């Protein structure tokens, strides 16, 4: 877990939105082929310590209807961008669960650089 990529938004001490991202562990455990023996555990720790995970996966997010279109989504995305800048090993954000039935989220992700695929890639300048 990386607590800097889990966001909760509040208004007057009441939760109004959230966005939960996780580092994509699949990048480093895929070569293990389902075997977690001692050598692979050591490889896992080394890969994690040397930032071999370059992708975040958006797990879930949302804003309560009364605060939608108020900029909360943009603020959360902006805070996530600031984390990208501080942690340059993150190169991609995968939004694999944005359904085509969710036009508001599709619009938000397009404004953030999403091109219609599952991933938003960036380069920090």
Residue 61 lies in a domain: yes
Query: What is d(CA 30, CA 28) in angstroms, rounded to the nearest whole number?
Result: 6
Whole-number pLDDT of residue 98: 63
Residue 110 lies in a domain: yes
Residue 9 lies in a domain: yes
How large is the angle between the packed helices 72-86 and 103-111, nearest 10 degrees? 40
- Please give the torsion angle defined by the CA atoms of residues 53, 34, 97 and 117, in that order, rounded to the nearest 10 degrees: 60
Residue 37 lies in a domain: no
pLDDT digits (tens, 9 = 90+) for 13-44: 999 999 888 888 888 888 888 898 999 999 99
Domain count across the chain: 1
Q: Residue 11 sits in which domain range?
A: 3-25+54-121
Whole-number pLDDT of residue 62: 85
**CATH number of the domain that 60 lies in?**
3.40.630.30
| Strand locations in the chain (E) | 6-11, 14-23, 55-63, 92-94, 119-121
Residue 97 lies in a domain: yes
Query: What is d(CA 69, CA 51) in angstroms, rounded to the nearest whole number?
Result: 35
Residue 65 lies in a domain: yes
pLDDT digits (tens, 9 = 90+) for 39-66: 999 999 998 888 888 888 888 888 899 9
Residue 21 lies in a domain: yes
Residue 102 lies in a domain: yes
Instruction: Categorize the per-residue pLDDT at 1 as very low, low, confident or very high, splitting at 50, 70 and 90.
Output: confident
């Amino acid at each position: 877990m990386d607590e800097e990529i889990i966001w909760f938004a509040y208004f007057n001490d009441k939760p109004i939105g959230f966005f939960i991202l996780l580092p994509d562990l699949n990048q480093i455990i895929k070569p293990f082929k389902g075997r977690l023996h001692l050598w692979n555990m050591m490889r896992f720790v080394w890969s994690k310590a040397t930032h071999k995970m370059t992708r975040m996966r958006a797990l879930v997010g949302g804003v309560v209807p009364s605060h939608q279109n108020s900029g909360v989504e943009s603020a959360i995305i902006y805070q996530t961008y600031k984390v990208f800048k501080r942690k340059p090993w993150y190169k991609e954000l995968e939004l694999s669960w944005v359904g085509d039935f969710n036009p508001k989220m599709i619009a938000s992700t397009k404004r953030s650089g999403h091109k219609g695929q599952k991933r938003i890639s960036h380069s920090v300048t």
